[in-house]
């Protein structure tokens, strides 16, 4: 990390995360006291074998799953201290999430899918649609605003998902194998856009990927092995 990045405030932090999955009497410990720190505007990649706990870690950072031990902080605020009923709205405003599967709402068109995320975060319908339209235009989707997901290519769906993740100008974007369902050329374009759009907004970006080339574009690169980041 360069000196300028090191001076930026921490926007996402994990301390001592431990996560166990149970199957009958068997326990599988996927995270063993995992620590992580991500600063404003920083890009970080995480690699690891399948089943190493990368997706679990992202879910814990987003508050989608809960750890057995440890704590997650969003800009210094402990996630455990945020009432359960407030978490979805706080998450929508603070974090953007890009998945391998696109998870677009099939009944909504491109513009509506992105605007819906802004509405969850509390924006007015007008503001939500304006922000969604602007961001989709930046991502080359201006001609596809009223297409439903089944009318889009894989790359177009993922660009829609990226716009949805960024529409609330989040402090952090988490991306879990965002190119896993794309061909090589499309994956390259999607990664370029993720880094470019996040960088333009000084959004902290955490990328989980199997692709070493994509991982190498981040300012910092970690591996998850034996339940810990190295």
Number of neighbouring beta carbons within 10 Å of residue 122: 12
Which segments of 24-152 are extended strands (E)? 26-39, 43-47, 69-74, 77-78, 95-98
Distance CA 165, CA 174 (A): 9
Q: What percent of the chain has pLDDT over 90?
A: 81
Domain of residue 225: give its range. Answer: 3-229
- pLDDT on residue 100: 86
Q: In this model, does residue 5 exceed pLDDT 80? A: no
How many independent structural domains does the chain possess? Answer: 1
Say what the pTM is.
0.92
Q: Is 170 left (phi over 0), alpha (psi -120 to 50) or beta?
A: beta
* Residues 96 and 168: beta-carbon distance below 8 Å: yes
Mean per-residue pLDDT, 79-92: 89
Cα–Cα nearest to 62, from 42, 32, 82, 33:
82
| DSSP assigned state of 93 | H
Q: What is the CATH number of the domain that holds 30?
A: 3.40.50.300
Partnered with residue 228 across adjacent β-strands are 225
pLDDT digits (tens, 9 = 90+) for 200-221: 989 999 999 999 999 999 999 9
């Amino acid at each position: 990390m360069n000196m300028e990045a090191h001076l930026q405030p921490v926007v996402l932090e994990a301390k001592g995360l431990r996560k166990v999955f149970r199957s009958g009497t068997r326990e599988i410990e996927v995270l063993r006291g995992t620590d992580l720190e991500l600063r404003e505007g920083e890009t970080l990649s995480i690699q690891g074998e399948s089943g190493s706990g990368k997706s679990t870690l992202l879910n814990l950072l987003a508050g989608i799953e809960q750890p057995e031990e440890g704590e997650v902080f969003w800009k210094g605020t402990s996630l455990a201290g945020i009432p359960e009923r407030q978490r979805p709205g706080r998450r929508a405003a603070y974090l953007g999430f890009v998945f391998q599967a696109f998870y677009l709402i099939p009944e909504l068109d491109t513009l509506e899918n992105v605007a819906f995320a802004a509405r969850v975060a509390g924006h007015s319908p007008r503001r939500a649609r304006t922000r969604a339209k602007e961001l989709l235009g930046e991502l080359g989707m201006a001609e596809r605003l009223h297409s439903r997901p089944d009318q889009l290519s894989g790359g177009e769906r993922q660009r829609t998902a990226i716009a949805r993740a960024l529409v609330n100008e989040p402090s952090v974007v988490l991306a879990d194998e965002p190119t896993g369902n794309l061909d090589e050329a499309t994956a390259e374009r999607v990664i370029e856009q993720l880094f470019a759009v996040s960088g333009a907004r000084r959004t902290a970006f955490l990328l989980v990927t199997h692709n070493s080339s994509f991982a190498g574009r981040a300012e910092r690169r970690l591996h998850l092995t034996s339940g810990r980041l190295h």
